[in-house]
A and B are shown apart, each in its own frame.
Chain A
């Protein structure tokens, strides 16, 4: 340093000494100053605030995080996480602070320019309505005059999505919406109306607002869990349970953790710390992911599977575990568990085929036998085992046959008594036969067969073996002396399911799989079942997800990990525990007024009503395993069959109004069930699903709240736009050729376009659903209303509270639906009055209706009683339950805002447990006040959102210890085991809404769920089943690996089997992955969750956009990008038969070659240009997908395979799709 510079520096820096009272260090480096309390008053001002309000964020996020919302001068300023969760225990981490960047950015919406501040109606429609009302005076007649006029209807439907929304008053929009509802109920029947609002756990009162109104008028609510493809059908198949999973605090208990297709830091942000922290306890962590996902960073090992091949990986791990721990070794811990809690020892009859080989067939049941129990009640529903000691056939307790009926009282439990079930018939091999087993591992996905021997026993003239013996054959685990084709060792790549075989599918080294499997099993032994698999969308959103999951669940179950703290499956996608489920269900579906409700599987609803079935060239034939079970049938045919047999719900149900049907039955002097059955049999009445294009059978009104269907979950988005809405669509797929069309369903020459007369959306921001809606209603945000929040990720109930009153003309969902209900009731006086409504309901799970189909043998009444596979239509047995509900349409508002009399008259029923709630209803009379006059005279009020929240909390076991104990006592009678002590510690506890406002409140152990939290332990599913011997809700009462329904056997899916991703080239003519042409390169198209949004929420939030790429983007590997000249941030276009996407590329080496990720639900509203191909607005992620249904998801009426809302059903899978991707060359225009 020169002297000159030194002097200058002194002048510059040292000069500070003379201008400040603070202390400058001798070396002039630094300036110390005491305080700062004057100079920086700015930041202290900025920090000051008037109040902090507890609230949270609702819908579609499992976080259920409690937040502090800061308010200053009546304005919401920002939010931060609450840290006051009750402790998870002294020796473990806590739940504080729960939250994520999305939630932290929520307050931006309050005052943002995308906020919907006033009611809006599409201008064209509003003009039409005003003119018609002018002309007719009566709004209902006015609405009718528009929708009956083809030209007028087309005019406003064509305009959907294309701007032109204008403000209207609340009075006017309420009148339009109510008039449309009244008209539709009157003209078409109530089941032509539907509502969709997803996942109630994170705001059940808001969900219940619209659902209560709709169920009161008789309109179906559409499901969400199955529709999102989040429902793992493997769970009802194996556990007889929708889904039950551990809270994240239980990850801490695991000794071994596999994150498999579940990107925890991104999708379970507030919970991820339990995983990072548990590693420090010595937990081994493995990540299975095709890309270097965020969670991989935390794993000890990264297992890079090719997308969709996880089933092969799981099968190979199962192969190693079965071979080393079931055949080569005898592990008492595993054996004991499987004998008692799984169907591994249960007997399966082998059926001899025409060519002399055997196939696995049905469970051997008591009713098949000349056996003391052969003549007992429900004998066809009691599967058998062979006693290892005596060799006798024995009937263990706990099957579904013991669950219902008088003889089963006190016997529905898993105690084995003196039975020692033999796991195998392999006993030095008494006798063995070769069975023909299906395999689907060729790239075309079609069946091939191989033969492997199983040891057998003879029971009468039947040849039987155990589920374990079949499983060993299925997994290719050889045993000395058994005939057939077997792998020569782990290194034999030829046949399923060796480690070397899986390597050819997954790309995972065989040695790694062997070691992981061994570690997994050894850990289970060392920890007594504390091995856990977190599984998620990455493995669950596939067409064959149930098979992928079943293969994974074999790992958690045969090793005794299910029903343990720190063990078992942890399915984390879309699973959202409405902890107070009982109170929620009864209030949300108005079961206090009318039963049964109308519940619809949404996947099937849209498959039919957006005409996507017409493009389906994927016939059911493609799916059977050479058995001919679906010969000549399309998937649509199978859906129609499932509906008419009462397996699946279907609304609109009949080609006649359900109100008309009631009148007709009365006119015919018949009871409705008999009338409907006779009319069906005579062919005078048909199911609407059999002629979906006919105008008599269209859905007419759809209402969305808390939902962005068209920007998020609508698989086959472009078909929605065309066939449901009647506006522009980018789909280019051609309809199925005649030979591939359904046989039992009418094929109209032209598919309907614009089925819906009215689409209404309630939202606080603009979305792809609001822009397409005819009416947009301004909703209060989550910081502007009261509600409840629960999740399965933590065990607390907490609340929403308004930080400010709803601003502008916004209203909470609850208040909005009250406005509509009131107007509806007024208009109904002239047009509807009291009507009878014929409700068709599928055969329900957890009821005796689930014992409709003995042995899972399909009998179709359509074939007539004389056909070998035919029968008569018998409501509630071979066809849907037919019920009649009387609805006073003038009293809908009164009913919506009061608790109906049915609770006291017939009580409540949840998951097969009955409750007497007279005490609770009385308490609610006192707490909420009593209604005077009208339909609800003398009943408790539920006028406000807080009253509704309190009703839910009083009517649920998790929040009302009295009910929890009562439910357990009911169960004790049935099981004969001790249960009530689980809730006794909290028998006097009642959680009220006021409690949830103070702090998150821990719930009470209740029969509503399968795990125990007693004594403050962490929640893990099925701990009650395992520790208290309470059966699973399955046929055998055990965790069931084997499914013997005709359709499962027909498809070769009795046991877990590897089915690769669908081959879109063979099925739909898409270019094979890797192929290049003028449209770019063909790639696997995956739509995982987005880091910068929760579904479509937040993707438009300026904070999230500033932290990411600012608009729709697609991740592509550097290797694929290089092939077609794509550089980072280039505009790209993706095209397949379903539509077009215009977005930007994110090029990265963390992506595997051959696969692109378009993070889902980025909507189409932010910086999406016109496409190069069409010159129209680019699509959303679902513009490239289409609904594909898997037939065995339609099975019903058979034990655990019986319908319940969101419990079972075809899923809106979306992962098997492919697309072309290329760099955009045309100028970017908007």
Chain B
């Protein structure tokens, strides 16, 4: 056992209102400068949708992350090939600026400085790349709220294979939001892609950083990251990425995106894991097993053996204590409601998500049945507007079973709590039906709903 500690995040998508405050506060703090105009360390995507940069999840196209070879070992999907070395100066597997978006501004000055004319003055868009007039045709969040859905959402990579389940028709509409930062993976393919050794994982907290002095601007990391969360600063010629706000984390303040999240859906916490197990877990054969395999790498901070090993590994006592109190640990392993984003990339991502509930579809509605009715409680999960298959493509490599399990827990919690809310006797059969005790369910409720500042971070 080799105990290491990792700073990790869980986002509860069931609470995300898609407001993008996280994106703006992050951008204002970190990437509001020349060379990073198009860069959003934190972005929020409407799903179904193309994401940022467009179709980043299409690894056939972008070749990010790891693949498991027939010999059972993992290799960089884009790396290890002769071709890659030969093309090091013109890496072909990079999103173009158009795939992100061409940043622009406006000639705002005209509004004040316009001489007297025949019509009312207007500020026109100007490219921040070329300085010329431009037509705005794509932005950092173009398909927000299903905008242009037939052209964009329809090409969502995650819809492949479930086209029969998702119709982009008014009556069947669904959407949800996916806020994304760097995953600070346990098995980061960006780092493995870097020819300069400039990307490293901080030993004490697992934050993945680009050493700005060492980076030579090869951009192999951009290709290597399947989440496309490393960006190229075209002014400095170096790669930049989400730093998990280490200058804040180091002094005990949560990340900007988490503290400013008005949905109160972000949790930050320390997770202890066994570094010796990571490669094996990332190499497991069946993609559906990756979720459990990654969880198996995590170490129970209540386990005295783990505590001893952590101490031996030089992890300070207060960090071990922090791991015990970690909401991230609780959501991932105790309540088992958080899931990794794209485990099939085999990077062992460390920003996890609680999948969203959604309104029931019309078929239930029209019959006049009450989804709150206990008998309908779990049947309603199958009738939610967001197809479980779609969520499974995001969080469990396509396995609907863990997603269904989480959604049932959330639904059960609501049902269980309603009795308590109304001053009735709680029905212990409800938590039991999802394999939880009443106490655990109540504690989970407190963490998800009351979610005080000190308990989120």
Q: Chain A residues in contact with chain B, CB under 8 A?
A: 1, 4-6, 8-9, 12-13, 15-16, 19-20, 22-25, 27-36, 39-40, 42-44, 46-48, 77-81, 83, 91-94, 96-101, 104-105, 107, 112-114, 116, 120, 123-124, 159, 161-165, 255, 264-266, 269-270, 272-273, 276-284, 287, 292, 294, 296-302, 509, 511-512, 514-515, 519, 526-527, 728, 766, 770-771, 1091, 1100, 1102-1103, 1105-1111, 1115, 1117-1119, 1127-1129, 1146-1153, 1164-1170, 1176-1177, 1230
Contact = CB atoms under 8 A, between A and B. Distances in A.
B368 to A, nearest CB: 4
Contacts of A1127: 151
A311 B76 CA distance: 60
The residue in B24, B114, B149, B265 that gathers the most chain A C-beta atoms within 10 A of its C-beta is B24
Contacts of B207: 36
Interface in B339-369: 356, 358-360, 365-369
A296 B361 CA distance: 12
A1230 B278 CA distance: 59
B272 to A, nearest CB: 15
The residue in A78, A292, A1106 that gathers the most chain B C-beta atoms within 10 A of its C-beta is A1106
Nearest to A33: B200
Nearest to B71: A1
Given A30-B192, A1148-B148, A1166-B106, A101 B116 contact: no
Nearest to A103: B21
Nearest to A35: B202
Contact of B120 (A16, A123, A162, A1147): A162
Contacts of B264: 93, 97, 273, 277
A163 B262 contact: no
A260 B452 CA distance: 29
Contact of B106 (A514, A1102, A1176): A1102
Given A278-B449, A1091-B145, A1147-B151, 6 more contacts: A162-B118, A269-B21, A280-B413, A1100-B108, A1111-B136, A1150-B149
Contact of B191 (A30, A34, A264, A301): A30
Contacts of B413: 280
B415 interface: yes
Dominant secondary structure at the B interface: loop
B120 to A, nearest CB: 4
A658 to B, nearest CB: 36
A1095 B144 CA distance: 19
Interface in B142-189: 142, 144-152, 168-170, 173-176, 186-188
B20 A1107 contact: yes
Contact of B192 (A29, A32, A300): A29
The residue in A29, A98, A1105 that gathers the most chain B C-beta atoms within 10 A of its C-beta is A29
A284 B421 CA distance: 12
B246 A40 contact: yes
A273 to B, nearest CB: 5
A255 B419 CA distance: 10
A281 B418 contact: yes
A1149 B149 CA distance: 7
A113 B136 contact: no
Contacts of A83: 259, 453
A284 B360 CA distance: 12
Given A766-B111, A1110-B136, A1167-B125, A36 B175 contact: no
A1150 B173 contact: yes
B210 to A, nearest CB: 8
Interface stretch (B26-34, B305-313, B321-329, B388-396): B26-34
Contacts of A112: 108
B8 interface: no
B104 A1110 contact: yes
Contacts of B440: none
Given A93-B449, A279-B414, A1149-B146, A31 B247 contact: no
Contact of A771 (B104, B120, B260, B263): B120
22 contacts: A1-B80, A34-B204, A35-B203, A39-B214, A40-B210, A43-B30, A79-B28, A162-B118, A273-B264, A276-B263, A277-B264, A281-B418, A282-B420, A284-B372, A300-B371, A511-B366, A1106-B101, A1147-B149, A1148-B149, A1166-B123, A1167-B122, A1167-B123
A298 B384 CA distance: 11
Q: Which 3 A-B pairs have the closest CB atoms?
A: A282-B418, A164-B116, A16-B197
Nearest to A292: B173
A1149 B170 contact: yes
Contacts of B372: 284, 300, 519
Contact of B23 (A36, A770, A1107): A1107
Contacts of A40: 209-212, 243, 246
B365 A512 contact: yes
A299 B29 contact: no
A83 B124 CA distance: 38
The residue in A32, A91, A123 that gathers the most chain B C-beta atoms within 10 A of its C-beta is A32
Nearest to A278: B449
B139 A1107 contact: yes
A112 B106 CA distance: 11
A1140 B224 CA distance: 50
Interface string B65-85: 000010100011001111001
B106 A36 contact: no
Contact of A515 (B25, B370, B415): B370
Contacts of B191: 29-31
A277 B265 CA distance: 10
B234 interface: no
Contact of B261 (A13, A97, A296, A1100): A97
A13 B192 contact: yes
Contacts of A279: 414
B117 interface: yes
Given A8-B85, A9-B80, A265-B18, A272 B262 contact: yes
Interface in B39-56: none
Contact of A120 (B112, B140, B170, B416): B112
B201 interface: yes
A300 B112 contact: no
Contacts of B192: 13, 28-30
Given A280-B417, A1107-B139, A526 B19 contact: no
A1117 B168 CA distance: 11
Contacts of A1168: 122
B105 interface: yes
Given A99-B21, A1128-B147, A1150-B173, A80 B414 contact: no
A1092 to B, nearest CB: 9
B209 A519 contact: no
Nearest to A279: B414
A1164 B23 CA distance: 26
A1170 to B, nearest CB: 7
Interface in B255-306: 256, 259-265, 275, 278-279
A92 B450 contact: yes
Contact of B115 (A164, A280, A1119): A164
A272 B17 contact: yes
B60 interface: no
A294 B19 CA distance: 10
Contacts of B32: 78
B103 interface: yes
A1166 B122 contact: yes
A1151 B29 CA distance: 35
Contact of B248 (A6, A47, A92, A1146): A47
B247 A44 contact: yes
A28 B75 CA distance: 11
A281 B421 contact: yes
A113 B144 CA distance: 27
B219 interface: no
B119 A1170 contact: yes
Given A1106-B103, A1111-B136, A31 B21 contact: no
Nearest to B367: A511
A539 to B, nearest CB: 19
Contacts of A97: 259-262, 264
